[in-house]
Amino acid sequence: MNKVVKNLGLYLVLVLVVVSMVNMFLTPEEVQRQYDEISYTEFIAKLEAGEVRILQIRNNTVPGESSSATLQGEMKNGQRFLTYGIDVSGIADKAVAKGITVTFEAPQKNTWLMSLMTSLFPTLLLIGVWLYFLNNSQGGGGRIMAFGRSKAKLFLDNKPKVTFNDVAGCDESKEELQEVIQFLKNPDKFRKLGARVPKGVLLVGPPGTGKTLLARAAAGEADVPFFSASGSDFVEMFVGVGAARVRDLFEQAKKYQPCIIFIDEMDAVGRHRGAGLGGGHDEREQTLNQLLVELDGFDDTSSTILIAATNRPDILDPALLRPGRFDRHITVDRPDVKGREEILKVHMKDKQFADDVDTGILARRTPGLVGADLENLVNEAALLAARHDKDRIGMDELEEGIERVMAGPERKSRIISDKEKRIVAYHETGHAIVAKILPGSDPVHKISIIPRGHAALGYTLQVPEEDKFLMSKSDLMNRIAVLLSGRVSEELVFNDVTSGAANDLERATQTARQMVTQLGMSDTIGLVKLGNKREEIFLGRDISEDRNYSEEVAYKIDQEVKSIIDSCYQKAKTILSERRELMDKIAGVLLEREVLDAEDFDRLMNDDKADMPEDLPEIPDGRIDILPNTNRDFLA
């Protein structure tokens, strides 16, 4: 009803404005433009000369003013004239005596309504503009006079249709949310037993694991109103706006109980307090304080559940995480093999696939990928199938989709010289042979010297047979040896090295340093953890490291890291030196085909009689040009 009244008032103001505009601008001046204005003396002269044919007299006299009149008409030559006079009572008699047609027009009456509108037009215009903005400001939080209103979207009849059947790969997380859903459906069941249902649920996990989807599914399962907001929606440039929006959000939620409030990217508003450079009380802290008050303000009869999601739980304020606020922390981790297979089935159910598609194989070949990656993988495969004019998505498209997600699209247009192509082939062959020989290494799934993405000139793809959650010292040493084997192969074949192993060296050094300083895998340093990362909340992560060790220990760390790198390098060099002919054979086949799958690679490794290509280019002599840092090997 209020909306109808406001609209009627707005339309009334607009009508008054239009009438006032007509009254102001459609004046007799519009009519006067059709006549030639002449002086009164000239008019008398033409009247005496008998040149006037028609005369119209309009009395303009206003009470309290002197008598005046408007004289207009037409000459015998067709000219239309207009003039003004005072006390023209005798003009009509003279005109009639000369046989001129004379007419009189009654004075125009200016009604009180028109006078009122004319005088009040500026005021009415300002009032109309003010009412317009006031009316619009009630509809959203981003308009004028509504900064303090919440930006959260309310879903009632249009609430998410997603249910737990649409969420896969996180069975434990769904079980944790079942109690929340049961409370929203039947709160009396818990209150009779004196149970207190969690006021807040915090979903924690890496990006893309399905935290937002899980919250939407919880709302769909509970079939209750759903408020959705982002942490960044609360913070504005104006002081106090964030706290006002938090208050408004919870006030709205009380009207729709039972309901769910979902805040995505909670770290945007819930960061640790007192982390500013000046230690001051900023706008973000005021917003967080209000959020803490609202969470504590829930009474025992409240049926409002707050669900938040973040991938940075380490920077959240401790007061936000204590029991009574976010009582339950649910980890939504990367899916395992079984979870990845279930996620693939969810994304594949509405698409047409060939009979040879095996989700189990795809799940084993996608270690470390999250739900968002798997959805993108299936979509890439569908796009490739459509590009090839296929009516079904085959295993080839899905395999290519995996590589596009993990290493980027192929760049066949990048022209590589034969010399550089040969270097890349030996580099990747070195990775593959050492990974095949060393026990415990992940099996080689594919070798390619086709450029991919923005940086990779080639890559060796290793796919683990099963998910690993623990890494032994020998596993890490073997991984470093595999990383360094590309550099070893360049040195053995070309007696020189290139910049193509820059990323390999970076990853190998990082792994070795973690073994020494964090994992206690050094006999020289011992079972200690050295170095504490110092994270400034508003300056970024890991801007510095708090060195809790002396310079002498730092020197020992560097020497131990170098010792590990040198040991792994010698291990890779020994393996490749003993298999130099095998390396030449595999590199030659790779140069010819550009891509080797696992079956072809295993056959070449096991069959010493495999023939080498006849058109294998000769090994260049002398030094070679240093390549830019572009050969980035993607090892799963």
User: Which residue type is seen at 179?
Assistant: E
The whole-number pLDDT of residue 200 equals 86
275-279, 341-345, 362-366 — which is least confidently predicted? 275-279
**570 shares a domain with 436:** yes
Taking the CB of residue 177, how many other CB atoms lie within 10 A of it?
A: 24
High-pLDDT (> 90) share of the chain, %:
16
For residue 616, tell me if it sits in a domain.
no
Residue that finishes a domain, picked among 52, 85, 112 = 112
Q: Is the pLDDT confidence value at 194 over 50?
A: yes
Tabulate helix, strand, coil % of the chain (nearest 5): 50, 15, 35
**447 shares a domain with 302:** no
Spatial CB neighbours of 596, under 8 Å, sequence gap ≥ 6: 432, 446, 447, 448, 586, 589, 590, 604
User: pLDDT tens digits for 536-575?
Assistant: 544 444 445 667 788 899 899 999 999 999 999 999 999 9
Strands 200-204 and 459-462: unpaired
**243 shares a domain with 225:** yes
For residue 140, tell me if it sits in a domain.
no
**Cα separation, 544 vs 342, whole angstroms:** 41
52-56, 355-359, 560-564 — which is least confidently predicted? 52-56
CATH number for position 32: 3.30.720.210
**400 shares a domain with 274:** no
Q: What is the mean pLDDT of the chain?
A: 77
Q: Is the pLDDT confidence value at 27 over 70?
A: no
Taking the CB of residue 118, how many other CB atoms lie within 10 A of it?
A: 13
Half-sphere exposure of 421 (CA within 13 A, CB side): 21
Residue whose C-alpha is closest to residue 69's, from 82, 78, 81, 80: 82
High-pLDDT (> 70) share of the chain, %:
74
Long-range CB pairs of 534-543, under 8 A, 24+ apart, other chains included: 535/314, 535/315, 536/275, 537/271, 537/272, 537/275, 537/315, 538/271, 538/275, 538/276, 538/277, 539/277
Number of domains in the chain: 4
Q: Is the pLDDT confidence value at 618 over 60?
A: no
**359 shares a domain with 214:** no
User: pLDDT tens digits for 83-136?
Assistant: 877 767 677 777 777 778 777 776 555 555 666 666 666 676 777 666 666 665
**325 shares a domain with 346:** no
> Who has greater pLDDT, 17 or 218?
218
For residue 44, tell me if it sits in a domain.
yes
**383 shares a domain with 450:** no
CATH number for position 577: 1.20.58.760
For residue 58, tell me if it sits in a domain.
yes
**524 shares a domain with 397:** no
**504-541: burial string, b at 16+ Cβ within 10 Å, e else:** beebbbebbbebbbeeebbeebeeeebeeeebebeeee
For residue 381, tell me if it sits in a domain.
yes
For residue 131, tell me if it sits in a domain.
no
241-245, 475-479, 608-612 — which is least confidently predicted? 608-612
**Cα separation, 425 vs 596, whole angstroms:** 11
Residue whose C-alpha is closest to residue 131's, from 213, 17, 52: 17
**314 shares a domain with 295:** yes
Q: Is 82 left (phi over 0), alpha (psi -120 to 50) or beta?
A: beta
Q: Which of 285, 342, 400, 428 is catalytic?
A: 428
Instruction: Retrieve residue 215's tokens.
Output: 């919250």
For residue 32, tell me if it sits in a domain.
yes
Instruction: Retrieve residue 583's tokens.
Output: 């390396």
User: pLDDT tens digits for 451-502?
Assistant: 876 667 888 888 787 777 788 999 999 999 999 999 999 999 998 888 888 8
Residue that finishes a domain, picked among 331, 356, 386 = 331
CATH number for position 385: 1.10.8.60
Instruction: Retrieve residue 134's tokens.
Output: 């006031």
**Cα separation, 425 vs 490, whole angstroms:** 10
**73 shares a domain with 28:** yes
Instruction: Please indicate whether residue 428 is annotated as part of the active site.
Output: yes
For residue 627, tell me if it sits in a domain.
no
Residue that finishes a domain, picked among 405, 427, 461 = 405
**497 shares a domain with 377:** no
Q: Is 239 helix (H, G, I), strand (E, B) or coil?
A: coil
**164 shares a domain with 81:** no
Tell me which residue range forms the domain holding 74.
Answer: 2-112
